[in-house]
Every structure is written in C-alpha cells, then in structure tokens.
Structure 1
Amino acid sequence: MPLVQSVSGKKNAMEYEDVVAMGKSDFEVKRPNDECDPISVNYTSGTTSSPKGVVYSHRGAYLNSLAAVLLNEMHSSPTFLWTNPMFHCNGWCLLWGVTAIGGTNICLRNVTAKGIFDNISQHKVTHMAGAPTILNMIINAPESEQKPLPGKVSFITGAAPPPAHVIYKMEELGFSMFHSYGLTETYGPGTICTWKPEWDSLPREEQAKMKARQGVNHLGIEEIQVKDPVTLRTLPADGVTMGEVVFRGNTVMNGYLKNPEATKEAFKGGWFWSGDLGVKHPDGYIELRDRSKDIIISGGENISSIEVESTLFTHPNVLEAAVVARPDEYWGETACAFVKLKDGSKVSAEELISYCRDRLPHYMAPRSIVFEDLPKTSTGKVQKFVLRTKAKALGSLSKKSVSKL
C-alpha cells in the first residue's frame, strides 16, 4: 500500500509511527553470498545526459558509510537534519552511516530556510549535509527566519563546487563547513578538503577559497589523480596543468546497469574517469575547474564556468548563477550567464558584465546575461544541458550590435 502524508487528507494515509509499529522484531536478516554482490542501484542526476543506473556493492556501501561518518566528524548519537536527498547515493551513504553510529534522523516534509533554522533550534541538530543550493537558501534567508545556532553544527557540502563566498557566509552564521567531492559512481563523497593548521593565519576570504577545493581522497578511495584523457598520462601536481580527475578504490561502482559499453569507457586504463576537469596542487589537493562538457573555448582560450559563476555569486544582488557556452560565429563560443536575482533586487545585464570584467580577465567575463529561474534536477543540481539548448537558440552574438559587450 503506498504511503502518503496524513496531512494530505487522502485515504489510507499513515503516520511514520504506524509504519514502524508494523515491523517485525524477529525479521530474518539475509546476508549477501559475496560482499561484492549488488546492494542498490542509484541513478546519476542527468545534469549532462540521460541518467545511468550505478550498481553499488555491499562492500563499497559499507566502507563509504564508515568514511561518511569520519568525513562528518560524527561522534556517538549525532542528530542529523536531512537536507540532502535520501534517494541520491543513498543519502551520500549517510542513511547507513548515521544509523550505524546510533544517530537521530530529523526529516523535513519540505526543505525551507525557516524549516532548517526551526529544526536546528528545536532538536539541537549537530550535523547536516547538502548541495550548494541548500547553502544558498540558508545564507539568503530573511533575518526573521534565522535563529542562532544552539551549538556546533557541522555541515558537509558537495554535489557541485560551492563558491568560496557561499562557504564564507555559512561560517559567518556559525556553521562548521566541510567540503567533499564525489559522484554517484563513487557512492557520493570520495574526497574531503582536510583543513591544514597553516591555513588558520590566512584572511577569512582566503580560508574560504581553500575550503572550496575538492581536497584529497578519503580512506575508502585508494587513489585520485589528474590525468590526460587522451594519453592517460598522470599530469604534474603544479596547480596549473588541467586534466580529468580519476578515481580507483573500493568505493567506486561495480559498473552501469545493463550498459557494458558505458562501463568500459568509464574504466579505461583501470581508473574511473569522472568527466570533471581539474588540477592537482603541489600539496596533493585536487581543485575542480569544470565539467569536461562545460568548459567554454572562446577565441582559443579556455573559460572555466565554475570560476565565472563564483564571481557572479559575490555580487550582492545575485541569488543563483549558471554559465554555459553560447555558440558564436567569430569567437567559436562565448560565456552566457543565466542569473536569478534575489527578491526585490534590480541590476542590469551590462552592470553584471562590467562587475565580472573588473574581477576576471576580460575574455572570461560573460558576454550575455539571461535573467530567469534555473532548471534543476531533483537533487538540486542545475541542468546545464537545458541551459545550453537555450543559449544555442539565442544565436551568435557576433552578428548583433551588442557584440561590443
């Protein structure tokens, strides 16, 4: 029988407590014949293409659950507020991890800034996790909805590279921020930006930039590297040479469900190829620069959409921003920014372009701005393939009188 919220007024509605009461204390646990047997199938978000079924093993889920507890610095009996989807990577494996450590799960019927602050205050929440979309919701909440944190609230973010400005604002509110990175294919979090004591002396803005790095592999991942996708050569850890981020280890998927061709392509050379472009710094920390499909090549220069988006996020009137390539007859491609402004804010496209030019090399600044709500997946990620279609429909900017922008 399908379960619906009792507040919906529908027949056969059941409360959570009623469902729990139906459980059997003598339930027989059926263990896998082999630890590498599948435990679940989780679908990719479909931000760049059609979703694929990612097969998780019992071994990988077990190890990543323990890693998730470590990454969140959880002690016994934490109180976890769910603002990351439970269906996405099994809640980044925290569905299992929080249970393993005897935690309390606080669930929201709808994720709102008011609901987040109210529940943190009421239940003395100690841990949270969520995408930058949730961070943005929190830092832009009206003062009337914000409440002082009752204690330390550790917040691990990932799913998309968070702008340093957003991390800084979260810490101003009192959250203890941790930045992780991974994919559905790595059971969610695969790296953590472990804090270094020597960064304590940096200005707060610089500290936020350091925390925005994707970091180093956790204990469940054997190794991460940045490699040339053509030669498969490991690239130097100089913080400059860009390549594709690759993983290998116990917490990498078994493969794609009923898709051997995609599985073979994903594991070429014995590594899982993420599709994310980045650099490795001399200290071994990974920093993403873009998805391979999202790099904009304008006049022969590579433009990182992540860097442009991070700059737009620092504008006081910008709530959300996503940057994609717009085809251009002269430049090949130009950066096109889709922007959602904060309620009641007004700013022109020309002003935003000028703002970016003052803070970025001119070739990186967006040449066109579109104001609208951003399409998102059910996990809160921006659907850039939708925006690329819209940008393509705009046509070449060079043919128009606004090409001077």
Structure 2
Amino acid sequence: MNLHSDSPSSLRHCRPFWRFWLARLLLTGGFQIMGVAVGWQVYSLTGSTLDLGLVGLLQFLPRILLVLVTGTVADRYPRRVIVSISMALQAVAALLLLAGSAGVGPAVSRELLFLVSVLIGTCRAFDMPTMQSLLPNIVPPALLPSAVAAAASANEVATIVAPALGGLLFAVGAPFTYGLDALMFLAGALLVLGLPAQQRLADSRRVTLDSLLAGVRFIRSRPDIFGAISLDLFAVLLGGATALLPVFAADILHTGAWGLGLLRAAPAVGALAMSAWLLRNPVERKVGRTMFAAVAVFGLATIAFGLSTHFGLSLLALMVLGASDIISVVIRGTFVQLETPDEMRGRVNAVNSLFIGASNQLGEFESGVTASLFGTVPAVVAGGAGTLLVVKLWMRWFPSLAQRDHMQEQKHG
C-alpha cells in the first residue's frame, strides 16, 4: 500500500493507522477502566465524595502544570517512544494496585490511590497531546479528515465498553480489573512502538522560555486555530450537563442506576455513529460553517435535554448532543493538525488538550454551581442558551473561521 495515496478509501488499507487506532482504543479503555476501579476503591475506603473529587483534581492538575513541558517534549523527542513510556508507566501503576488488592504488596490505601491518580494524570498530560501529534505522521493530508473521525471512534468505543467491563470485573475481584488494565497498557505500548518514525523533530538547542511558549504564540497568531480552540472551550464549558445526569436520572426522569448508565452512554453512542458516518463522508467544503452549525446543534440539544421529562426523548437529545459534538471535534482536530508545522504539533496539541480538559472539568463545576443557585433544569437550559450565544459571538469575532471553506488553506502561487 502507498501510504501517501490521495484516495480517502485507502485508509482501510493503511496498516499503521489501524495499529494507531487499536493503540488509542487500548489507551482510552485502560484509562476508563482505571477510573472506574480507583473511584470505587476510594469511595469504598473513605465514603467521601470530596475524595472522589480530589481524584479527578489530582489527575487534571498535571495537565495544567506541565502543559508547556509536555508539548516541548513531544516536539523534541520521538513521539511513539513518549507514548510507549507513558503507557508502560500506567501499566506499572495498574500492577501496583493489583499487588495491593491481591495482598502481595503494599495495601491499597487512600494515599496510594491518590499517588496513582497523580501518576496517571502525569502520564495523560504527556500521552494525550503526543498521541494527537502522531496521527499526521502516519497518514497523508488527504486521508487526515477520515483518520481523525476514525480515531475519534476509538475513544467512543472505549468510553461505551470499558467502564462497564471494568465494573463487571471489579465485581469479580479488583485484581482481575487491574490485571486487564496492565495488559491493555502494555499491548498498546508495543503497538505504538511499531508505528513508522516519520516525525520532523524541533530544534534541539537549549530549551528556553521562548521555545516553551512557541505553541501559545502560534495559536494566538492564527485566528482560525485560536477561534476554533476557544469556541470548544466556552461552548462545552457552558453547555456541558454531564455532572447533573444523576439528578436528572433520579429526580426528573425517575429511573434507577440503569437509567443513569444509559444516559451516560448516550452521547458516546451518538458520537460513535457520527464518527462512522464521517469516516465515509468526510467534511471537505464549508468546514467553518459546518463546525459552527454543529456547535449550535449541540446547544439546542442541551436545551432539549434540560426541558425533557421523557426518558426516551432525553436519550435522543443526548445522542444528538454527542453526534454534533464529534463533528466539531473532527473538523477542529483536522484543520488544526494540517495548519500546524510538524515540529510544533506537540506544543500546539498540548495547549489544545489543556483547553479540552479545562472545558470538561470546569464545565462540570459550572453546572454544579449554577444548579445549586438556580435549579437543575434552569442551569442546563441556560447553559445551552449560552452555547448559542457563544456561536453567535465567535462568528462575529472570527469571520475568517466562519467563512473557512477547506480544511487546509489553499496556497496560491
């Protein structure tokens, strides 16, 4: 197979990409399973919701503290090696908890679980932007839109399947859960090591503050990239309703835990279906208008979910929400990768990953605060309306992004 074939259909024959896809599935699935197991053990040991919140905070803080370092490392050193080391360290963390749960190592304690959370968060700070930066190194530009959509589907499959699998195995015994986790991380590390090395390394001279901030300056100097990344930040920050799903399941839709599980899975189901469609029908024209329309649908679906009192309608709204979100994710991810020089992709993707993480984490916090102040339904409806307002403002403030026709700007001359 010619890796640089311009035919979108050749993606199915691109072995390096499917090796990447499977590695991403294992990485995301391993993280999801680890999250279920660690969260359950923390709550079982302490019975504290605050400790559950601390687990999330400890996993997110390294992404903030290391954002400039992780991007620079991803640009200066082989990305496949960085991801492999990160996955191997996460396997070590899983094995440590396996030993403690089986009684052959240090007992699993609150402090150990917090330490593992910091380690996992640090690894994620490195492997998320590095994994994103790897994709353009293994597929040609013509295949990137389809590749981004297909890669997104790996995340959605893992998000749907892995938590349920982790929960079932944990019911059998914690060692089984952590054993599977370790195997997934190690298998993913080996897959990534086997990817082709086609990276253009950044300048290897001494690291300076100027070189560390190069990714931030690059994003700020490109209105389309800055507009797309900030659009996602504020749209998800305002429109996210995930943190309030337990309230909807119990008090509004009157379902049990099974209903909450379906509600949590619904956005990923919608995103997976849309990813499959985009894989065969990549967005090639009017990408700016399409992205803004998708974010607007995200806002409308959020409002519909907030107002719904029927379980089926709520599931449908969440599936539409997930499907519209993945359209925006794929368009933004594709053209940001195409417009960024390879030797800067690590630093740019590190900032992008921080924005994505901040929108999700802060969005859950914002939802909780507004719900406590104004009520659950008004908080979600106001969040959806806020997303629509963001779309309108960003179309005015970033007109070139709204009018963008192609994924990659056409060069003339």
Query: Smaller-chain TM-score range?
Result: under 0.3
The TM-score, its normalising length taken from structure 2, stands at: 0.27
Structure of greater Rg: 1
The TM-score, its normalising length taken from structure 1, stands at: 0.27
Structure with the bigger RCO (C-alpha within 8 Å, sep 6+) is 2
Name whichever structure is richer in helix by fraction.
2
Name whichever structure is richer in strand by fraction.
1
